[in-house]
Structure 1
Amino acid sequence: MSAHQAAPPPFDPELRLALAALSAEARELVTPANLAAWQERDAAARPAPTADDLSADGRFEVREFRVPGPPGGPEVTLVGARPSGLAGPLPLLYYMHGGGMIAGNAWSVLPRVLREWALPLGLAVLSVAYRLAPRARYPEPLEDCYAGLAWAAAHAADLDIDADRIVVGGKSAGGGLAAALALLARDRGGPRLLGQLLLCPMLDDRGTTFSSHQMTGLGLWDLTSNTTAWQALLGDRHGADDVPPYAAPSRATDLSGLPPAYIDVGSAEIFRDEDVAYADAIWRAGGRAELHVWPGAFHGFDGFAPQAALTRDARDTRTRWLRRLLDQSRTSDS
């Protein structure tokens, strides 16, 4: 049975209700024709919280850093936050926001990241304001992220972070960037990473997996929107045989020597098959990966149904993995 004939996995009942409650505008597909208008509307819907907002009545210390960018590129803004009064050096979660490489910002993702991980786990966080497509094309967004990562590792003492306990992470496009950073840091001999937290990562520009066609027209991000986003990032290189793995990590043929990965994805979303395949490729290369496929979950489900039982399970599982990773690093250091 082809993907075009196959019935999609059913949505989780709570998530189906959350999806049905969204407006038609929120579910609009992204096309080259409406991309600019879609970006404008998305930016208006994701206002960036101020430093005062992020401090949450003093629970977090918040700072912005403007650091040297990649060669020939502009400075990179990093938004830093850590639990107030916590003695360091702290582990660092170096985080890339989602948005299909065409949307999102470094500020609006932080309240949730700080609440769910920084506070309970005693983490410092740096969120990266990388340039967006199509104004910036590969490799510019990735090089922004790498420049910020290299700066953070080199200034660990000033930041009061532990350069040996850096986890890269992100969701959707941010998860793809985190996976690419792990590859790039390995191949450039860059900062040695403790782990990679890949939440429904966007990894493959080709659009040839079974799930990418099975989920056409369903959920919040399908093949039409995904193709538009990849074309915005890669331009004429989209789908070509020579797209590098740092642009689309699913293209990687060598996944050895990478830090432990946490990968999760929904069973009812476009990225399911590429994310499962990426975990499998890490295992085949002798690496460590923990994979979770949330049954009946659409792309980005946890942001739209924060109180659903499946969201709570996903949130708890991610936190347990991070805690276990950090605990193991403490044990190995002692």
Structure 2
Amino acid sequence: MEIDRVLPELREPMRRAQVTLPRWFVRAAVRLMRVPRSEHVTVTTSRAGSVRLRVYAPVGARSGAGLLWIHGGGLLFGDARQDEALCLSTVERLGVVIVSVNYRFAPEHPFPAAHDDVRAGWRWFLEHAEEHGVDPRRIAIGGESAGAGLAAALVHRVHDEGGTQPVAQWLFAPMLDDRTAARRELDADAHFVWDNRANREGWSGYLGAEPGLASPPPYAVPARRTDLTGLPPTYLAYGDIELFATEDAAYADALEAAGVPVTADVVPGAPHGFENWAHGTDVAQAVVSRAQSWLASAVEP
């Protein structure tokens, strides 16, 4: 892919984000990374069994709403700490409580490990909502990249199991469809930040098989679900030049066809994950602001 397709303000941050490091190093580095702080937000840790949780709460008044957040990392690496800036600003602006879930990684822990971990985070949040000043009927589920794919699959499972439902889903560049990874002709496009070779590694490790299976396990691949009726209103943001653009657009269309209210926020010239690794740029701040405004409306009583 040619660099001139990327927004000028994202080119230099993207070059820094493009650094390729061994998986073990990335896993260690993310857990040790320095994170921003806010005098308006308390950050604590907890556990849902063996699942580590990072809990963000306003120091002042709380809105009564919550967000279960799931970080990205291609299903292979990552940590709740990598989304500290987004979580802090969302808590500051909306007065919500955020529970961010750390989950097990492929290929050491294939499906359903990560899926079960984020489900455990959801159940923990419901069980502890009252003590955190949250109405369990006003909790959204969201995430970025692989985390957004896990969020979408969790919404499917919660819908099928019944009980308290998320009020909304808040998805940034979701990794939704293993069939993209199976399209080897996409390798030649060399998408910035996250390309199809990396995508194939992530899906292969998660599924324990080559992507593109005729019948993947239920809840493993969100884009494979055929009945999307009854799911909550959805915000879905992605860049038009990233690898996931086609599958994200298709999922938005499928949700709309099923009668689900959808806001698709497509950013021209934006590579994958720009709202994270370029969070200080105007374009990233603008999309996060739009997303937070949407979420504020979605979690209103």
Q: What is the TM-score when the length of structure 2 is the normalising length?
A: 0.91
1:16 is paired with a residue whose SS is helix
Change (3 A) 1:140 1:274: same
The answer to whether the aligner puts 1:181 opposite 2:162 as a matched pair is no
Change (3 A) 1:134 1:190: farther
Change (3 A) 1:133 1:296: same
The answer to whether the aligner puts 1:101 opposite 2:99 as a matched pair is no
CA distance in 1, matches of 2:96, 2:292: 12
> How much has 1:300 moved relative to structure 2?
0.9
The answer to whether the aligner puts 1:196 opposite 2:180 as a matched pair is no
CA distance in 2, matches of 1:179, 1:212: 27
Q: Give the alignment partner of residue 121 of structure 1, picking from 94, 103, 124.
A: 94
Show the 5 A alignment for 1:303-318: 303-318=276-291
> How much has 1:135 moved relative to structure 2?
1.4
Show the 5 A alignment for 1:16-55: 16-19=11-14, 21-22=15-16, 26-28=18-20, 38-48=22-32
Change (3 A) 1:111 1:187: same
Letter in 2 for 1:59: H
CA distance in 2, matches of 1:10, 1:274: 20
Runs of 5+ unmatched residues, structure 2? none
- For these two proteins, the number of residue pairs brought into alignment is 301
CA distance in 2, matches of 1:43, 1:277: 31
Choose between structure 1 and 2: higher helix proportion.
2
Q: Give the alignment partner of residue 8 of structure 2, picking from 4, 13, 19.
A: 13
> How much has 1:124 moved relative to structure 2?
0.3
Letter in 2 for 1:311: A
Residue by residue over 1:249-282, the C-alpha shift from the partner in whole angstroms, topping out at 9 and shown as x without a partner, is 0101001100100001111110000000000000
State whether residues 68 and 139 of structure 2, in contact with CA within 8 Å, keep that contact through their aligned partners in structure 1.
yes
CA distance in 2, matches of 1:135, 1:255: 31
User: 2:126 — aligned with what?
Assistant: 153
Change (3 A) 1:107 1:238: same
Residue by residue over 1:105-129, the C-alpha shift from the partner in whole angstroms, topping out at 9 and shown as x without a partner, is 12332233112x1111001010001
Q: Provide the aligned C-alpha RMSD in A.
A: 2.5
CA distance in 1, matches of 2:290, 2:184: 24
Larger radius of gyration between Structure 1 and Structure 2: 1
1:297 is paired with a residue whose SS is coil
CA distance in 2, matches of 1:118, 1:166: 13
CA distance in 2, matches of 1:167, 1:211: 35
2:178 is paired with a residue whose SS is coil
> How much has 1:211 moved relative to structure 2?
11
User: 2:53 — aligned with what?
Assistant: 78
User: 2:85 — aligned with what?
Assistant: 111
Letter in 1 for 2:24: E
Letter in 1 for 2:84: L
CA distance in 2, matches of 1:302, 1:215: 25
Q: What is the TM-score when the length of structure 1 is the normalising length?
A: 0.83
Residue by residue over 1:35-91, the C-alpha shift from the partner in whole angstroms, topping out at 9 and shown as x without a partner, is xx72222124324468xx6763x42223222223xxxxxx21211110113256x21
Show the 5 A alignment for 1:268-279: 268-279=241-252
1:256 is paired with a residue whose SS is coil
CA distance in 2, matches of 1:84, 1:216: 46
State whether residues 221 and 270 of structure 1, in contact with CA within 8 Å, keep that contact through their aligned partners in structure 2.
yes
State whether residues 200 and 264 of structure 1, in contact with CA within 8 Å, keep that contact through their aligned partners in structure 2.
yes
